Structure 1
Amino acid sequence: MSATPDTSNSTTDTPVAKQLSTLDRFLPVWIIAAMAAGLGAGRLIPGLGSALDAIAIDGVSLPIALGLLIMMYPVLAKVRYDRLGTVTGDRRLLISSLILNWILGPALMFALAWLMLPDLPEYRTGLIIVGLARCIAMVIIWNDLACGDREAAAVLVAINSVFQVIAFAGLGWFYLSILPGRLGLPQADLDVSAWQIARSVLIFLGIPLVAGYLTRRFGEKAKGRAWYEERFIPRIGPFALYGLLFTIVILFALQGDAITSQPLDVARIALPLLAYFAIMWFGSLALAKAVGLGYERSATLAFTAAGNNFELAIAVAIATFGVTSGQALAGVVGPLIEVPVLVGLVYVSLALRRRWWPTIRQENRS
């Protein structure tokens, strides 16, 4: 983001918080304020949610799309695309990511939803949909704040996007219809087209990815790498945070009334989500360390495995079950829990990097 610290230059005795810029250091405050502003506006301003929801093209919310594009572009413009080859050759990282995202993640959310919401089928189905939608957007922000590997994040997000288009509908059919039937549990149906999924990927990842790549390529060609890294990137960096906060305000304004009018339901939905994020993140980080990955790629693996594509999950839930359905509410509660939890895990990640990866401390002393 604006001034995310470089692990190679940080000192061992400096507290993590002091290594961040003022803008990044108070990120939880800005996010809580944005969530509160969105919820308050959605609750207090009559018709705001409906008006915002109406600003859409073919089911895609233009305000949310705008916020996500502004949020993701600066981070993707920072990626060194000439280094991507070193990531694609790391089989430990790629195989671990595929297993975590497309086998363990959906299975874990399915298990938690049935264990904690056995009496609430609509919310349970909504959470299973959230678990199937692997992250392709906000994870780039969390990874950047945690000093993860930007190039690795770009590759893993791209892989998730491809698998999302190919596997989302099939996994939805398996976890909502086939597996419950085999276990003697009630079944549900998921009506989603491959184009609906591909459209989400193309808009929320394809546009900022192409823009970031072209900006770096032509920016370096015209002005040189030093100007690009030292002058241009610091200027556009803060816009990632501005886009994130704008997206949060819009998202919670759209569903502010639904969230604030059903606090007990929100709390029930939140419990399996909290368990999911904690298990996926800490489990992924431990797996990365066990297979010998360094801190940067371990952090990237953890955040890409723990995050979810809430934009797609909400869109699918609304299209299939309706905007006022319990499935849609569960999708909306997803980012309500995910955003503050993963922001907190950014700080946990930074605090753990020298305890679990002592070579970082040794390199800083040399």
Structure 2
Amino acid sequence: MKKNQGISFFERTLTLWVAICIVAGIQIGQFIPSVPATLHRFEYANVSIPVAILIWLMIFPMMLKVDFKSVKNVGSKPKGILITGVTNWLIKPFTMFAIAWFFFFVLFKSLIPAELADQYLAGAVLLGAAPCTAMVFVWSHLTKGDAAYTL
């Protein structure tokens, strides 16, 4: 059995690192406009190649740890898959609908035209129902989850 070593400094301060990166990105966009303009040139079919490469670099090390033979055994313990399925397809879309409806049709009603709010609402529900694969892998890795269930 592996000894639990706790979480690292980076993992404990992940929220801070994300905030720093957001602020740095905004500052770069505001004060060095040539950086986003240059990055925009590296797109194919509206997909940013640098972002795609960085996401792949984030996911790849975790994919190496997946025992693909164990994926077929996921059905022997269906609790994790059942909870994930119910959460992703029965809870999240309706929760996201309620949250998005509040923001688009109540809080920001005077700022967003009704037709656009309808489109934003549809997009928010789709976004809420579809987990980001990259973040699923990262959070599963950080919590020492079973990679077979993550896949």
Fold-level match, TM-score > 0.5? yes
Correspondent of 1:143 among 140, 143, 146: 140
| Alignment of structure 1 residues 48-59 onto 2, 5 Å | 48-59=35-46
Partner residue of 1:68? Answer: 55
Partner residue of 1:34? Answer: 21
What secondary structure does 2:128 align onto? Answer: helix
Distance 1:25 1:112, change over 3 A: closer
| Alignment of structure 1 residues 150-189 onto 2, 5 Å | 150-154=147-151
Tell me the CA shift for residue 110 of structure 1: 1.1
- Contact 2:67-2:148 at 8 Å conserved across structures: yes
- Contact 2:81-2:149 at 8 Å conserved across structures: no
**Percent of pairs with identical residues:** 28
Aligned residue-pair number = 141
Partner residue of 2:94? Answer: 107
CA distance in 1, matches of 2:94, 2:51: 29
Whichever residue aligns with residue 50 of structure 1, its letter is A
What secondary structure does 1:116 align onto? Answer: helix
CA distance in 2, matches of 1:115, 1:23: 35
Alignment deviations for residues 184-215 of structure 1 (CA, whole Å, 9 cap, x no partner)? xxxxxxxxxxxxxxxxxxxxxxxxxxxxxxxx
Flag structure 1 segments of 5+ consecutive residues without an equivalent: 1-5, 11-17, 155-366
Flag structure 2 segments of 5+ consecutive residues without an equivalent: none
Distance 1:54 1:128, change over 3 A: farther
Distance 1:124 1:29, change over 3 A: same
Partner residue of 1:257? Answer: none
Cα RMSD (Å): 2.3
Tell me the CA shift for residue 40 of structure 1: 1.0
TM-score, structure 2 as length reference: 0.78
| Alignment of structure 1 residues 103-252 onto 2, 5 Å | 103-118=90-105, 119=109, 120=112, 121=117, 123-154=120-151
What secondary structure does 1:148 align onto? Answer: coil
Higher RCO, 1 vs 2 (CA within 8 Å, ≥6 residues apart): 1
CA distance in 2, matches of 1:145, 1:107: 27
- Contact 2:59-2:138 at 8 Å conserved across structures: yes
CA distance in 2, matches of 1:103, 1:22: 36
Partner residue of 1:89? Answer: 76
CA distance in 2, matches of 1:27, 1:112: 25
Alignment deviations for residues 154-189 of structure 1 (CA, whole Å, 9 cap, x no partner)? 1xxxxxxxxxxxxxxxxxxxxxxxxxxxxxxxxxxx
Alignment deviations for residues 89-131 of structure 1 (CA, whole Å, 9 cap, x no partner)? 3333223322221232112111221123211316544423422
What secondary structure does 1:137 align onto? Answer: helix
What secondary structure does 1:117 align onto? Answer: helix
TM-score, structure 1 as length reference: 0.35
CA distance in 2, matches of 1:64, 1:135: 14
Distance 1:26 1:104, change over 3 A: closer
CA distance in 2, matches of 1:64, 1:132: 22
Whichever residue aligns with residue 104 of structure 1, its letter is I
CA distance in 2, matches of 1:125, 1:62: 27
| Alignment of structure 1 residues 303-342 onto 2, 5 Å | none
CA distance in 1, matches of 2:126, 2:35: 27
CA distance in 1, matches of 2:18, 2:132: 19
CA distance in 1, matches of 2:71, 2:126: 31
User: Which one is further off, 121-130 or 79-88?
Assistant: 121-130
Alignment deviations for residues 258-314 of structure 1 (CA, whole Å, 9 cap, x no partner)? xxxxxxxxxxxxxxxxxxxxxxxxxxxxxxxxxxxxxxxxxxxxxxxxxxxxxxxxx
Distance 1:134 1:21, change over 3 A: closer
CA distance in 1, matches of 2:129, 2:37: 27
Distance 1:138 1:117, change over 3 A: same
